[in-house]
């Protein structure tokens, strides 16, 4: 299967490297940024281009690892080059597969459920690949490819993927923001954030032993009003964080009463 990789950002970079490591043939890399295209092309021994017009028509699979709002535009461009009968997928958690519906015939999704950053090497073998395709044969082909790069392969509908994406925002983006609040509060008192790292690691480690609801601890679930009041009083200097504290404490309390 000759793969054309469109996009050389964090997802494109790590997916390209993983495909190469697993013996798959990425024949060409596209990025609007010429340097990025060349860099990834060199890394995975693929041709590179920064012009959509120069994208090869000889691919079997086109993977669009581009920003959500560029998916439609790239698909239209590929269609206008007569590639509308090729299998074209995007890698987005947030965009329905139907973004391709009226311009392509064979299309799908190949969504690795992970947060990627350039500097960090992900352990791809455990990353869930959530895939889908309009045609059954394409779904099967994508599953074969996905199983080469990961142990965790799921067929996931647009509706399910949308839910996964909302949940991912809670457990990743919002969790990171809570870490940021902890960081900011400690920094102001001259305390190192590292003090919290063992606690943070254990918060995640405990998920091995039960559901998050079973693992809930702290003043909110104990209905420890005097501690909550003391915390709210301290947070008066951070009105945004006070509001977040209040709302999350209430929400945990509602779980308690269920």
Site for a second copy in 182-201 (CB under 8 A): 182-183, 185-186, 189, 191, 193, 195-201
- Restricted to residues 225-244, the positions that interact with a second copy (CB under 8 A) are 226-227, 230-231, 234-235, 240-241, 243-244
Give the span between the Cα atoms of 247 and 25, in whole angstroms.
Answer: 50
Q: Does residue number 220 form part of the binding site for a second copy (CB under 8 A)? A: yes
Q: Which of 12, 71, 114, 133 binds a second copy (CB under 8 A)?
A: 114
Question: Is position 216 an interface residue for a second copy (rule: CB under 8 A)?
Answer: yes
CA distance 157 to 173: 23
Report the C-alpha gap between 179 and 250 in whole angstroms: 20
DSSP string, 152-175: -EEE--HHHHHHHHHHHIIIIIIH
Distance of CA 94 to the CA centre of its chain: 9
- Contact stretch for a second copy (CB under 8 A) within 35-43, 46-54, 78-86, 222-230: 222-230
Q: According to the binding rule CB under 8 A, does residue 159 interact with a second copy?
A: yes
Helix, strand or coil for residue 49?
strand
CA distance 159 to 181: 32
Please say which residue, 57 or 205, places its beta carbon nearer to a second copy. 205
143 binds a second copy (CB under 8 A): no
For residues 195-217, one letter each, b for 16 or more C-beta atoms within 10 angstroms of the residue's C-beta and e for the rest, the string is: eeeeeeeeeeeeeeeeeeeeeee
Q: Exactly one of 23, 102, 170, 257 binds a second copy (CB under 8 A); which one?
A: 170
Shortest CB 54 distance to a second copy, Å: 29
CA-based torsion, 215, 170, 9, 66: positive or negative: positive
Least Å distance, CB 51 to a second copy, is: 26
Burial state string for 10-28 with b = 16 or more CB within 10 A and e = fewer than 16: bbbbbbbbbbbeeebebbb
Per CB under 8 A, 223 contacts a second copy: no
**Touching a second copy, residues 82-111 (CB under 8 A):** 94
Q: Which residue has tokens 């992900």? A: 122
> Of 27, 47, 70, 248, which one interacts with a second copy (CB under 8 A)?
248
Give min distance, CB of 72 to a second copy, in A.
12
């Amino acid at each position: 299967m000759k793969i054309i990789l469109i996009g050389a950002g964090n997802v494109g970079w790590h997916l390209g490297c993983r495909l190469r490591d697993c013996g798959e043939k990425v024949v060409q890399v596209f990025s609007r940024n010429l340097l990025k295209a060349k860099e990834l092309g060199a890394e995975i021994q693929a041709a590179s281009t920064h012009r959509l017009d120069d994208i090869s028509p000889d691919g079997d699979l086109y993977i669009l690892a581009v920003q959500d709002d560029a998916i439609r535009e790239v698909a239209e461009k590929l269609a206008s080059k007569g590639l509308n009968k090729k299998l074209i997928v995007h890698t987005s958690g947030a965009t329905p597969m139907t973004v391709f519906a009226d311009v392509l015939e064979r299309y799908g999704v190949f969504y690795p459920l992970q947060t990627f950053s350039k500097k960090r090497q992900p352990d791809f073998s455990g990353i869930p690949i959530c895939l889908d395709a309009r045609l059954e044969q394409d779904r099967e082909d994508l599953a074969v490819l996905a199983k080469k790069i990961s142990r965790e392969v799921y067929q996931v509908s647009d509706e399910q993927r949308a839910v996964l994406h909302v949940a991912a925002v809670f457990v990743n983006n919002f969790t990171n923001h809570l870490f940021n609040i902890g960081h900011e509060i400690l920094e102001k008192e001259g305390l190192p954030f590292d003090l919290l790292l063992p606690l943070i690691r254990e918060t995640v480690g405990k998920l091995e032993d039960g559901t998050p609801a079973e693992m809930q601890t702290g003043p909110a679930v104990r209905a420890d009003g005097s501690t909550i009041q003391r915390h709210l009083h301290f947070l008066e200097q951070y009105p945004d964080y006070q509001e977040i504290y209040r709302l999350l404490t209430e929400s945990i309390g509602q779980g308690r009463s269920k």
